[in-house]
Amino acid sequence: MVPSRDVYRGEVVHLTTEDVRLPNGFEMTLEIVRHPGASAIAALDDAGAVILLHQYRHAAGGYLWEVPAGKLDAGEPPEVCAARELGEEAGVAAEELVRVGEIVTCPGFCDELIHLFVATKLRPVPPTPGEDEVIARIEHIPLADAMGMIDAGEIRDAKTIAALLHADRRVHRTQEPS
């Protein structure tokens, strides 16, 4: 195990430095952001539309189109986080929640892993966003239109793009003749 030194420990991230030897023998000190992980959900309604949030993100300089997502609480399974975030942010619960993959967000300096889900058979529940969540709009957008938003650069959030790609693949896989 590589010894690590704490630089900063906050509510969301933990910054460490580590002295490492790379596989090619090069030695260096790395700054690594430790993150507890997250879940992101492409929620598809019965009409084939995906739920997108127009959410304010200060670090990104404004509003972004995103799928519901959130940070894992300590010891929380990704599926539980996904179900919680669907209700809190999008105001829906899913009868079916399928894990479809995961992404590593910024592997050059961060260990964050986002677990990706596709949710179906939705029913409404009261949304309960946190005080720190500014969601201007919750939209049901046809999946094909959401994919077009990616092509047009309107959706720039990586977890959203990855979740939508998985959802699109699942939808097209189930529509193919057997």
Tokens matching residue 124: 């409404």
Could you tell me which residues are beta bridge partners of residue 119?
Answer: 43, 97
Q: Which residues are catalytic?
A: 131
What is residue 47's three-state secondary structure? coil
Tokens 């967000």, located at residue: 105
DSSP code, position 90: I
Q: Which residues lie below 8 Å from residue 2, measured CB to CB, with a gap of 6+? A: 18, 19, 20
* Three-state DSSP state, 162: helix
Return the structure tokens found at 101.
Answer: 């993959």
The whole-angstrom separation of Cα 43 and Cα 63 is 20
| Measured CA angle at 13 (ends 11, 18), to 5 deg | 140
Torsion of CA 131, 104, 68, 46, to 10 degrees: -170
